[in-house]
Structure 1
């Protein structure tokens, strides 16, 4: 998705779909404070500070409901993408920048746990128990909030106009028939890019993904700094003047490419190329207001917030009973069998993978 944010949708696509808000266009700290009713004066015990990735977005009414239900004043503090957010938490260990955190994903979860920046907390309700980390220590600290499938997307209109069958698999992306057509953000600077790298590791194994990436490079894959560059600039259906009809995006992207006045997306997600990202919330070790942090983590599992997630941040709620918007129910289909890797394996090999990838792709 990005250089430093988790934006998922080109503005033109969002404008064409009932005025949904662009994910990742942060309201700004000031607007978030206003949305939540303002922080408590002097950092009193009423204030609960939440560090998030830059793509945090939630309706003012939902945030006001949290305050009214709990009596806390909520302050949202954006801190970069999932990687930057985790790094800041590690660097401020012992004197945390917030009370709670939202937005650490499964590609960085083990680092946060191993560095000791989180503390154990069991929420009152946990509708996302099926998405808990596999590691017991991580599961005790991290509460699943939402998930999204990072998948290759194709511009169906472009392929129809060029009388070319679109790709359907990882292998197809390296086929000469699609030479120069694929663009993806780099795993070194983008969390979706890292998810795609992890997907290729899961697909081809520790000893095979390097050869696969070499074949992608030989097939003229374009690598950008972030999702926005890939989708909004280079992708043919991204609203700009791009020339690449294959892009790394999300399984939930197609509904936001429905042209105004029409009912069908112009793009498709290749569900056999997906890697599942799960985002977590946690209470920070040493929090000034641990009770407020716990209340916020509890609230993230509420039906109200879970059902607001798709329209506000374009992610799937972990609550299986949450009602999805009509467009999502029809066109934003999650993968039946997405690629996954244990958080501990990602943590153990992330640096090595990135070094090897850089040797191949850069």
Structure 2
């Protein structure tokens, strides 16, 4: 059903990384270097070469689009998955003197400052950057966005004759004891996004008390979105036992009934934090021109149009038409919680440490 970076979808923390997964998947094609223009295929089609994209485990793009990129650019695309988005950033920082690839996709706004501070991406601005899509540091290009929110298994609540919660405060209500699973902000970008939502809601001095109330109410913490959603969430159809799970506002668009009339899950739009996922050219890569061409490709209309159904995220280009059922089943939050990027950069590691002490002990 879903992906999620990393959204998703879009995480890191400052501590050591153990057991990092690096899986290289050769997707197909032939080769080239690219010129970095706004249109894919601007490079010499007779040239040859490989461009390696380092990304999170939730990377998914239609192979027809990958094939077209390879045919038009002359490049062979190799994809190396490095765990969740937080693990991805940690891995890039740890290997910055010997980059794992040429381009990166999946650094999100909760960890972008760490990547920029470590200089793991070089400055590059695509000429085809959509209106309203803002780069970070002249190096990270927005590709997609999505609201990280708690999701509810509507069928479970109906069967249990229990009202679906709406707010963050509701989640700490004893009547929802042992029903919620979230992800660890130290290892999961959705987990960090949700931590920031609670900081935006309760403040730097109040979020620990809120999390204490969630712990007292039996919250479960998973290491990754995939574990929380597919292993623990009852609404994913995989046998999970918890009817509340941290996911994305877009997730209910992929749990729609066979007749398309309703979704079996819903997003609690008063619990959200907006996540943006970025792509960039890795500093010191073997093929920076190919990496620039790949970043350009991710902004093309065909790729942006494919993101809702391949990555389950909103495209960075606001002019792209969305799937018809997204207005009904995947609306974005009207007022997601916010934390200033400068505050995230300054306090992220401290906040994660305080969360860890409060929740994990």
**TM-score (norm. length: structure 1):** 0.85
Structure with the higher helix share, 1 or 2: 1
Compare 320-329 and 208-217 and name the one that shifted more. Answer: 320-329
Shift of 1:276: 0.9
1:91: which partner in 2? 94
Unaligned runs of 5+ in 1: 10-25
Shift of 1:305: 0.5
How well do the aligned residues superpose, as a CA RMSD in angstroms?
A: 2.5
Contact 1:128–1:145 (Cα < 8 Å) also in 2: no
Compare 339-348 and 166-175 and name the one that shifted more. Answer: 339-348
Contact 2:133–2:317 (Cα < 8 Å) also in 1: no
Q: Which among 321, 324, 328 is matched to residue 323 of structure 1?
A: 321
Q: Which among 337, 340, 343 is matched to residue 339 of structure 1?
A: 337
Structure 2 residue 284 is matched with structure 1 residue 281: no
Contact 2:86–2:186 (Cα < 8 Å) also in 1: no
1: CA distance, partners of 2:339 / 2:131: 18
What is the 5 A alignment of 1:78-117? 78-117=81-120
What is the 5 A alignment of 1:155-170? 155-170=153-168
C-alpha change, 1:269 and 1:72, in structure 2 (3 Å) is same
Q: Deviations over 1:182-238 (max 9, x none)?
A: 221222232211111111011111101011111111112122222233222332222
Contact 2:145–2:275 (Cα < 8 Å) also in 1: yes
C-alpha change, 1:84 and 1:233, in structure 2 (3 Å) is closer
Shift of 1:6: 4.4
1:354: which partner in 2? 352
2:302: which partner in 1? 304
2:39: which partner in 1? none
1:251: which partner in 2? 249
Contact 1:45–1:289 (Cα < 8 Å) also in 2: no
Q: Deviations over 1:269-317 (max 9, x none)?
A: 0111111111101111222222211111111111011011111111111
Q: Which among 139, 143, 163 is matched to residue 141 of structure 1?
A: 139
C-alpha change, 1:236 and 1:76, in structure 2 (3 Å) is closer
C-alpha change, 1:336 and 1:230, in structure 2 (3 Å) is same
Q: Which among 99, 107, 122 is matched to residue 119 of structure 1?
A: 122
C-alpha change, 1:285 and 1:242, in structure 2 (3 Å) is closer
Shift of 1:156: 1.7
Structure 2 residue 58 is matched with structure 1 residue 55: yes
Unaligned runs of 5+ in 2: 10-20, 33-46
Q: Deviations over 1:84-115 (max 9, x none)?
A: 22122222224322121111111111111101
2: CA distance, partners of 1:360 / 1:128: 42
Shift of 1:72: 2.5
1: CA distance, partners of 2:148 / 2:123: 29
Shift of 1:39: 5.8
Contact 1:101–1:284 (Cα < 8 Å) also in 2: yes
C-alpha change, 1:155 and 1:361, in structure 2 (3 Å) is same
